[in-house]
Structure 1
Amino acid sequence: MRIYFTILSLLIFTISFSQNKIDTAQVVIPNRINSEEGKSKPYVIMISADGFRYDYAKKYNAQNLLKFSNEGVQAKAMIPSYPSITFPNHWSLITGMYPSHHGLVDNFFYDYKLKKNYAMNKKDIVEDGSWYGGTPLWALAEKQGIISASIQWVGSASNAGGKRPTYYYPYHEKFTPSEKVSKVINWLKLPEDKRPHFISMYFPEVDGAGHHFGPEAGETEVAVKLVDAAIGDLVQKVKDLGLKNVNFIFVSDHGMIQVDGGNPLEIPSMLLDKNRFDFYNSQTLLRVYVKNSDEVKKVYKELKSSKTDDYEVYLDKKLPKYMHFATRDDRYDRIGQILLIPKAPKVFLEKNQKTSLGKHGYDPKQVPEMKATFFAWGSAFKNALKIDEFENVNVYPLVAEILGLKIEEKIDGELKVLKPILKK
C-alpha cells in the first residue's frame, strides 16, 4: 500500500500540460493499411523512459531490463544531444538530428522570425508540426507503406514530417504504465493490414521522481522498478502473441543530477533590462538574445569580466563544435547570441524562483550524470553484446535499417555507428 501511494505521487509530479479538459481517446487516421511489403517487415517497439539515467538499471536492480539487455545489446551509455533536456532529445531520437538542426532547441523558446513562443506545456503548440524540423520515424514509415503507432512521444500528435502515426494518443497523465502496455498489445492484435510495425511509447515516471525527490531517492528507485515491471509485462505479452521478428529498443532522453538549489546563481543584473535583452532560463542553461546586434561583443565582454567561477560565458558562435549548438548550427535562429552555462550542480534562478532537487540540461561530456540509457534486444540484434557510448542521433538510422526504410534527407546520425549490433 505504501508503494502504491508513492507511485501515485510520482504520476502527479510528471510533466503537466495546461489543458482544461483532458481527452484520453485514441486518435486513428482512417483509410491507411500496410503495403504488401509492409506486412512482412519486422516489428520495432521503441520505448523511452524519460530521465532514466545510464546507470539506473544496475543501481536500482531493474531485473527485466538487465536480463533483456544482457541477452541482447547493452550500451555503456548513450550521449544526449545538447542541451540534455526532454523535448529536444526526444525529437533528436526520432529524427536523427541535433536540436539546432531540427529546431527544438529548448522546452521553451521564442522564434524571432515567426514572432511566436514555443512552450512544451501548450497543447495547441506542441501539436503544430510547423515547429518541428526533420522527418520523424513514424512519418518515414507511413510514407513508405508501414503503419505506425505512438503513445505520447514528443511531437507524435503533430503533423511534423507530413504524416502523423496511424494510431496515437496525445500527452496526458491518466494512463498507468500497465495501461500503456495493454494499448500496445491491442495494436499488435490488429489484422495484418492494420497492424503497426513501428511503435513508439513514452514513460514519464522516472523523470518525475528524479526531479522532485532527487536521483538518489527511494521514490526514484520505485519509479525505475515501476517502468521495469511494465517492460517485463510488455515483453511477455508480446511473446504470447506469437509474432515473429519483434525488436525492442529501450532508450532515455537524458540523465539526472541533484543540484545546489540552496545556493543558486543570480541572473546578471544587466540582463534584467528588457529594452536591451531577452533571456531564456532553463536553470542549467541561460540563453541571451541581444536586441541590438551591434552590442553583442560589448555585452559578451561585460558578462565575461563579471562572471564567477561557477559558470562560463560563451559567444554562441564560439561554443565547442562537439556540442552542435553554435551559430553555425542554428538553422532556425532560435538559440541566441550569448550562452551562460553553469557548472554542475549550480543552477541559475530568477528572483523568487524555485528549482527541483534533480535537474538535467548540462553538457554530458562535462557532467556524466546527464548520460542516457540504450538497450536493445530481439530478432535483429546480436546476442550478449556490450558496446561503448554513442550519440543518440544514431538511433534513427538503426531503426530505419531494421524496417528497410529509405532516408531521403540529410540527418546527423550515421548507420555505421550502430550497424555492428545487427545480426546482418
Structure 2
Amino acid sequence: MPHDARVDTVINWLQNPFETRPTMITFYLSQVDSYGHRYGPESDSVKVALKEVDRTLGYLIDELKRIEVWPNVHILITSDHGMTEVSNERVILLDKIIDLDLVDVIDWSPVAMIEPKDFANRNALYEKLKSSESNYKVFMKRDIPSHYRIANHPRTPEIMVIADIGYTITTSQNANTRIISGGAHGYDNREPDMRSFFLGYGPNLKQNTIVEPFQSIHVYELMTNLLNLTPAKNNGSLDSVRTVLR
C-alpha cells in the first residue's frame, strides 16, 4: 500500500464516531529497512528512502491538523534495530573451523546458533571454535552474556557464535557463489550501528529535549502510561523512560 494511502487510512479511522474510534494506531514504513538491506545503510538509496519517510510524516501531521486532533495526539517514531555494512571481504567460514556434519546450525548470521547432533561432542566443538576465535565470539549456552537474555531459555542451543560488527558467518561455498553486500543487523545490541532511535511528540511529552539512550523494551511502559492503561507483566520499566515525560 502506498505511504499516502496508509496515512489516509489512519485519518479515516480517527474520524470514526467516538465510540468506535481507535485510541492507539500503529503503522510501518518499510522502505528504509528494505533499501538498507539491499544497498547498505550509507547508500544514496537509503537517503532517498529517508526523504520519502520524512515527507510521509509531514503529510500525516498536516492531516492530523486538518481534522483538528493534533493537539491531543501522541506520536512515537522508532525502529526495531540499526544496520551496518557487510561485504564478501568480511566473512567467517564456519566449515573451515568445525565439521558441519556434526551439528545443526539453526540460524547462521550474524548469530550462529549451533546444536551438536551428539551432546558428547559439545565441549570439543566449542574448543575448536574458541581456538580459532577471530572476528567472532563463541559462548557455551551457560556462558552467554546476560544482556542477550537467552542463556536460560529452553530453545537456546548449546553453542552461540556471534560475528563482530560487519562480518558474516557463512560457508566456503556460499562465500564463493553469493555476493554478500548491502546491510545487516542482529549483531551485539551494544554496538552503536545496532541502535535504533526514538522520537516522540505530544501533550504529555517534553519538547526539544534530548535524553540519555534507553532500551526499546521500555517503550511499552511509556505507551501504556500515555494510554492510561495498566501494563501487562514485562521486562520494561517506566522509570527508564520517565525523562521523556512532562
TM-score (norm 1): 0.54
In 2: Cα distance, 1:263 partner to 1:368 partner: 19
Map 1:88-237 to 2 at 5 A: 175-237=1-63
Task: Provide closer, same or farther for how the CA distance between residues 394 and 341 of structure 1 changes in structure 2, counting only shifts above 3 A.
Answer: same
SS in 2 for 1:230: helix
In 2: Cα distance, 1:298 partner to 1:215 partner: 38
In 2: Cα distance, 1:258 partner to 1:379 partner: 38
**Conservation of the 8 A alpha-carbon contact between 2:87 and 2:181:** no
User: What corresponds to 2:164 in structure 1?
Assistant: 343
The higher-RCO structure (CA 8 Å, 6+ apart) is 1
In 2: Cα distance, 1:376 partner to 1:191 partner: 26
Structure 1 unmatched ranges of 5 or more:
1-174
User: What corresponds to 2:135 in structure 1?
Assistant: 310
Deviations 1:37-92 (A, max 9, x none): xxxxxxxxxxxxxxxxxxxxxxxxxxxxxxxxxxxxxxxxxxxxxxxxxxxxxxxx
Deviations 1:325-374 (A, max 9, x none): 32x2x1xx222110111112211123234433211111132x21111110
Residue 233 of structure 2 is aligned to residue 416 of structure 1: no
Shift of 1:246: 0.6
In 2: Cα distance, 1:229 partner to 1:393 partner: 28
Residue 211 of structure 2 is aligned to residue 387 of structure 1: yes
User: What corresponds to 1:98 in structure 2?
Assistant: none
Map 1:260-279 to 2 at 5 A: 260-269=87-96, 270-273=98-101, 276-279=102-105
Equivalent residue letter for 2:149? H
CA RMSD of aligned residues (A): 1.6
Task: Provide closer, same or farther for how the CA distance between residues 271 and 193 of structure 1 changes in structure 2, counting only shifts above 3 A.
Answer: farther
TM-score (norm 2): 0.91
**Conservation of the 8 A alpha-carbon contact between 1:277 and 1:291:** yes
**Conservation of the 8 A alpha-carbon contact between 2:111 and 2:186:** yes
Deviations 1:259-295 (A, max 9, x none): 132342112353421xx42103342111101233333
Structure 2 unmatched ranges of 5 or more:
none
Aligned residues between the structures: 240
Equivalent residue letter for 1:418? V
Equivalent residue letter for 1:246? V
**Conservation of the 8 A alpha-carbon contact between 1:245 and 1:380:** no
In 2: Cα distance, 1:239 partner to 1:343 partner: 46
SS in 2 for 1:280: strand
Which structure features the higher share of helix residues?
2
Identity of aligned residues (%): 29
Equivalent residue letter for 1:297? N
**Conservation of the 8 A alpha-carbon contact between 2:85 and 2:182:** yes
**Conservation of the 8 A alpha-carbon contact between 1:349 and 1:355:** no
Equivalent residue letter for 2:53? V
Within the candidate set 129, 138, 144, 1:319 is matched to: 144
**Conservation of the 8 A alpha-carbon contact between 1:271 and 1:279:** no
In 2: Cα distance, 1:335 partner to 1:203 partner: 31
Equivalent residue letter for 1:396? Y
SS in 2 for 1:407: coil
User: What corresponds to 2:64 in structure 1?
Assistant: 238
User: What corresponds to 2:189 in structure 1?
Assistant: 364
